[in-house]
Structure 1
Amino acid sequence: MARLISTLAENGVSPTETSAAEYFEDPDWDQIEFFGSLVNWLESEGVVRLVESPWMGDGAGPTFSLVLTSLGFQHLARTQPNGLTLVENAKQIAASPNVASTAGEFVGSLLGAFTKSVTPS
């Protein structure tokens, strides 16, 4: 998820075409399904917008054309307890060789940001 968010943030308002094949080497059905669920979750939370309907691309599940929404950019700009924004955290995690252990921290930060944004002050 961190690599996807980082890529979307770098591309700004330009649509990004992506599929599970970009994040998993020779993805199996579970990984393809997970990636589709991740995209659907990010869309339902208002973080990303599907620019067009998914299509079958390279045989590794559907290809999505995504762009961050203004809400997504707001969340990414929030400062986290470590002093970095979510997008800075995402970039660090995406570049980290130890992605598995830090991915949970990123997901927790992202979920926390959503919870704070929908909770009345």
Structure 2
Amino acid sequence: MSEMTFQWADFLIVAKSLHQSGKTSVLPTDASFRCAISRAYYAAFCHSRDFAEINYGFIPTKKPKDHELLRINLAKHGRGTISTKLDQLRQWRNNSDYDNPSPTLSESNTRDAIDYADKIIQSL
């Protein structure tokens, strides 16, 4: 059996589902929104990383600095808007993953994170 490559953009489907579950109180709202923001970021980050590897020769180090190195690589190849959106998403992800309370945790911010990730994925 051949191994299939994971489609990182599928995390965006999970993020949308978590966002919806948080809005309707099916799951705890804060937990849903936090996880949705995190999954939206990783959908965009990993999709962008794979794109940059194939198209721009980006070589991941498999270390935390890859988040910054990827944004630099994208900007260097004329993808400054994507780099900026990815950085904003990373900041929201850090807030939602580490801050208590999170200064950016809200329904609208969660929706914005999903929209940013969707735009990044669609543009690559």
TM over 0.5: no
TM-score for the superposition, normalised by structure 1? 0.32
- Structure number with the higher helix fraction is 2
- Structure number with the higher strand fraction is 1
TM-score for the superposition, normalised by structure 2? 0.31
